[in-house]
Amino acid sequence: MSLRQPPLPCALGRSVQASLLALALLLAGCQTRPSAQAERLDRLELRLQQMEQRLNQERQRHDGADRSGKPPAGVIKSLTLRSGTEDDRLRIYWANGSTTDLPCTKEQSTLVCG
């Protein structure tokens, strides 16, 4: 024995349909234009990316090595050797202010850098 509900009157069904249609149109219309806050966030993200690119270009310009990986020609100001750590290296400080890092490994009983 199933309990059957009487059908909704036709006018009530149409009003529910019209309400749902209006709600769907309203929600669709709200999503087409991004908010001012979202636009501002997009502009800030773009500006941050541009600043990061400029910073990377500056680093490449001030890095003493050229694109082929050769160190700068000139006088060495000082050397530092880091050993016994996870990233053993020989760092060369050049007179022009740039640095070059040479990774070091221990082969047999000799520390080899380059």
Q: Which pLDDT belongs to residue 2? A: 56
- pLDDT, tens digit, for every residue of 68-106? 566 676 888 899 988 888 888 898 888 888 888 888 888
14: its two tokens: 């149409």
Length of the chain: 114
Q: Where are the beta strands (DSSP E) in 1-114?
A: 76-82, 89-94, 99-107, 110-113
Write down the domain spans for the chain.
37-113
Nearest to 77 by CA among 55, 52, 59, 94: 94
Q: Which pLDDT belongs to residue 99? A: 85
DSSP string for residues in 5-17: PPPPPHHHHHHHH
Whole-number Å distance between alpha carbons of 92 and 84: 18
- pLDDT, tens digit, for every residue of 6-54? 555 555 566 677 777 777 766 666 555 668 888 888 888 888 888 888 8
Q: Which pLDDT belongs to residue 79? A: 92
